Amino acid sequence: MVPRFVPRLFLCLLVLVVGCSSTDSGPARADGMATVRVSQLPTEARQTLALIDKGGPFPYARDGVVFGNFEGLLPEQKRGYYHEYTVRTPGSRDRGARRIVTGQGGEIYYTDDHYNSFRAVLR
């Protein structure tokens, strides 16, 4: 006969193993958020990422400003945690709708619809 606690112990161990076996070793992101690999981003987004990695110089005056996350689509953080960068949109007369948003924890998010949706960027 199996003691009563054994099934519960097994269930707890299973939850721990499954919860810790994430295949994405990158920074935390919103649960259930769509992802995109860097190689799948538009060329202009990859160029913007390269500029971010270098620390600039950036082509748009608003690059690097604080992103407020007013839409609430990214994980909640204190003001100043996120910063946004313009991704050039060919044919657009203004900054267009594409942005990269970075978090202080190393997170990178991409939007191509002016903050209506985001995808976590996997490097």
> Is 85 within 8 Å of 57 (Cβ atoms)?
no
- The answer to whether 44 is a known catalytic residue is no
CA distance 45 to 98: 8
Pick the catalytic residue from 44, 71, 76, 114: 114
- The answer to whether 71 is a known catalytic residue is no
CA distance 77 to 105: 11
Pick the catalytic residue from 44, 83, 84, 107: 84
> What is the torsional sign of CA 76, 35, 44, 112?
negative
CA distance 74 to 68: 10
Q: Which residues are catalytic?
A: 84, 114
